[in-house]
Amino acid sequence: MKQKLNLYLAAPRGFCAGVDRAIKIVEMAIEKWGAPVYVRHEIVHNKYVVDGLRDKGAVFVEELDECPTDRPVIFSAHGVPKSVPAAAEHRNMIYVDATCPLVSKVHIEADRHNQNGLQMVMIGHAGHPETIGTMGQLPEGEVLLVETPADVATLTPRDEDKLAYITQTTLSVDDTVEIVKALQNRFPNIVGPHKEDICYATTNRQEAVKAVAPKIDALLVIGAPNSSNSKRLVEVGSNAGCNYSQLVQRAKDIDWRAMDGVKSVGITAGASAPEILINEVIDAFKDRYDVTTEIVETAVENVEFKVPRVLREPA
């Protein structure tokens, strides 16, 4: 007889509007211009999604100079430094920018502060494509990066009274609050965004995990190891009291020994994980346990972003 198990499905989970739009952009570009279409950097951080698009005719490269000039190139949802579209124009390439509109909003913000003579402090993760893209909107030295509250103490801005801060869109909401506090304590005149730059999808997924946490013995986050928002969900689960909070890419990655004696499991997914992988994990539990599922919903998302006009026009 199968052991009973309660599965709590966090909602919202999985794809966000920016990821949805980015994937659609690649598919529509292949439809419009035929294969191959080049994509600079993984369009979104998910192997299953990337492999699926590769099968349809997308070629993923790390840098623009790996692309031939006679094929279209797409820039990933994470955003790119200003130098990248400039280089594409210089080479007379057709390019489509799949940067998430909420990341573009941060780029515009940084630009505006820069025009007003403010130096930027970016709260983000060094080396993450989104951070590289956002810092690359402004000239060298105009954006200072902080990753932790401790980093704030070591900042050496040009002028302490002429600062503004922006954040990566996929950070932990709680961690960011601490860093912002440290910035405001040290630089009382620092200018912040009207509303946090952390996007609605990141915030909503973290809130849903917090709501699920008290009900469960273990949390599984479906997502990629290089996905910032997925890794933050694991941390949020741990901080909310889940003794076992783990990232898995697919059902085959579940450590079933760790599930011994567990009576309730929470399931969520990062913003670039498709529903098919979530269902795969649920099915794996149903194979092994007598499962009762419950949805824990903390928000309803109905955001949709239009694809660029170039893709809506006939070839």
Q: Is 62 helix (H, G, I), strand (E, B) or coil?
A: coil
List phi, psi (to 5°) of 108: -65, -40
Provide the residue ranges of all domains of the chain, joining segments of one domain with +: 4-15+200-297, 17-100, 102-186
pTM for this predicted structure: 0.95
pLDDT value of residue 196: 77
CA atoms within 13 A on the CB side of 226: 13
Q: State pLDDT tens for residues 257-307.
A: 999 999 999 999 999 999 999 999 999 999 999 999 999 999 999 999 999
Task: Tell how many helices (H) and how many strands (E) occur in the chain.
Answer: 11, 12
* Residue burial 42-73, b: 16+ Cβ < 10 Å; e: rest: bbbbbebbbebbeeebbbbeeebeebeeebbb
The catalytic residue among 27, 42, 130, 196 is: 130
130 catalytic per annotation: yes
Fold of 17-100: Rossmann fold (3.40.50)
Mean pLDDT value across the chain: 96
Percent of the chain residues past pLDDT 90, beyond the cut: 97
Measured CA to CA, the distance from residue 228 to residue 170 in angstroms comes to: 6
- CATH top-level class of 4-15+200-297: alpha beta
Does residue 245 carry a pLDDT above 90?
yes
Residue whose C-alpha is closest to residue 174's, from 155, 198, 190, 191? 198
Task: Classify residue 276 as exposed, middle or buried by CB count within 10 Å of its CB (0-12, 13-18, 19+).
Answer: exposed
**Local confidence band at 314 (pLDDT 50, 70, 90 cut-offs):** confident
Q: Are 80 and 135 in contact (CB under 8 A)?
A: no
Same CATH fold assignment for domains 4-15+200-297 and 102-186: yes
Average pLDDT over residues 46-70: 97
Torsion of CA 269, 205, 287, 6, to 10 degrees: 160
Q: State pLDDT tens for residues 180-206.
A: 999 999 999 999 997 779 999 999 999
Q: Are 109 and 134 in contact (CB under 8 A)?
A: no
- CATH top-level class of 102-186: alpha beta
Does residue 112 carry a pLDDT above 80?
yes
Does residue 30 carry a pLDDT above 80?
yes
Does residue 175 carry a pLDDT above 90?
yes
